[in-house]
Amino acid sequence: MRRVVITGMGALTPIGNSVPAFWASLIKGQSGVAPITKFDAENFKTRFAAEVKNFDPLDYMERSAARKYDLFTQYALAVTEEAIRQANIDFEKLDKTRIGVIWGSGNGGISTFQEQVTAFNNGDGTPRFNPFFIPKMIVDIAAGVISIKYGLRGVNYATVSACSTSNTAIIDAFNYIKWGKADMIITGGSEAPITEASVGGFNAARALSTNNESPGTASRPFDVTRDGFVIGEGAGAIILEELEYAKKRGATIIGEIAGGAMAADAYHLTGTHPDGEGAVLGMRLALEDAQVGPDQIGYLNAHATSTSQGDTSELRAIAQVFGRSDRINISATKSMTGHLLGAAGAIEAIACVLAIKEKTIPPTINTTQVDPEFQNAFNLTLGSAQKKEIIYAMNNTFGFGGHIATSIFKKYDNS
């Protein structure tokens, strides 16, 4: 079976606009949550979010191009550029029919949709839609734009599985390369959901934290006082390549993806199964795909959104797969970044790869009173980063609709 390695990564997050900045903030335990600036949230139940700071699309593209793209596509282009630069790729020297893009987004151009429909509803009923309305809005357009920019003619599509979206994209990309259908794929996800429609909709579903008095500590996974997730935005890109292909072109290999799997809770529209049945299946299938045992996983980046039912069901699932043990380090990086929805899996995959490479487990912050059901049951890496030699790391993502995606990353070994 062909091995698949990682040669480049790009990150745009609420705690840093590059991979080095993201990682530095992550291991410091820095929160990226603050009052919303993208719209006037005074009348909303939730008035804070994890926004990307100081992003200027003109740092990455011409003004004429930026006008054609929704923010989620601008984010995608920004992180892809960083990943390509790190991977030191010259596409003109490669067979571009063997290079593809699999990119995910849960919401796509929701700000464009809201803006255009609002303008129409506030008008006289005469359609005056922007000619770029549809291509700015549709979820697949980021994948298409990346391929167009770099002339990549291999597999090209978008994944949508709610908050499992970009992890699904990574697993699909891994499989395409493993099966010999591509040599290199740009994969990941982007999300720009901090709009009135998204915040209002999640508020109506009672999914968001309303801790407006202390935004920076509102995302508190596993804590007995947790009251919902903190909506975030950003993007993550990963360059995956077949091992021998990467070595032949002289790439520096950062890490390896060992396996991945998808499953379903098949339980509820928005809620997870109380005992995490889908999560158990996804983790076990991922371990089987990677051909490793539970005792070989040194770090698990939990989905852990800071919702009451979600965090509980995930820890119950982890207990079934790994036992109630402090041997494995678990952390919830959403305590710092908030929940990037469809982009979460890609950002958290980058955290897993860097945890292996830097021998450091990022912390879970804000959690001071662990849910009594799990006190002393796990090592949740509370408060500060921990140094640890890791060979394998697991990344969990779950989405509305019962979607489960779990990927496993490995320390690169040239043997």
The CATH code of the domain that includes 367 is: 3.40.47.10
The answer to the question of residue 209 being in a domain is yes
What gap in Å lies between CA 365 and CA 383, rounded to an integer? 5
Active site residues per annotation: 163
Number of other CB atoms surrounding residue 371 within 10 Å: 18
Domain residues for 375? 1-404
Which residues contact residue 163 at a Cβ distance below 8 angstroms, ignoring those fewer than 6 apart? Answer: 106, 303, 305, 339, 341, 342, 344, 345, 397, 398, 399, 400, 403
Give a yes or no: residue 350 inside a domain.
yes
Domains in the chain, number: 1
Q: Is residue 174 domain-resident? A: yes
Whether the Cβ atoms of residue 280 and residue 261 lie closer than 8 Å to each other:
no
Residue 393 lies in a domain: yes
What are the E-state strand segments in 127-248?
156-159, 184-191, 234-242
Residue 411 lies in a domain: no
On whether residue 117 sits in a domain, the answer given is yes
Q: 34-51, pLDDT tens digit by residue?
A: 999 999 999 999 999 999
The number of C-alpha atoms within 13 Å of 168 and in the hemisphere containing its C-beta is 24
What percent of the chain stands above pLDDT 90?
94
- Looking at the domain assignment, is residue 338 inside a domain? yes
The amino acid at 316: R
Query: Does residue 410 fall inside a structural domain?
Result: no
* Tokens found for residue 222: 């596993």
pLDDT tens readout for residues 364-412: 999 999 999 998 899 999 999 999 999 999 999 999 999 999 999 999 9
Contacts of 64 (CB under 8 A, 6+ apart): none
- Check: pTM over 0.85? Answer yes or no: yes
Interatomic CA distance for residues 75 and 55, integer angstroms? 9
**Distance between CA atoms of 362 and 246, rounded to whole angstroms?**
29
**For the purposes of burial, counting CB atoms within 10 Å of the CB of 85, is it exposed (0-12), middle (13-18) or buried (19 or more)?**
exposed
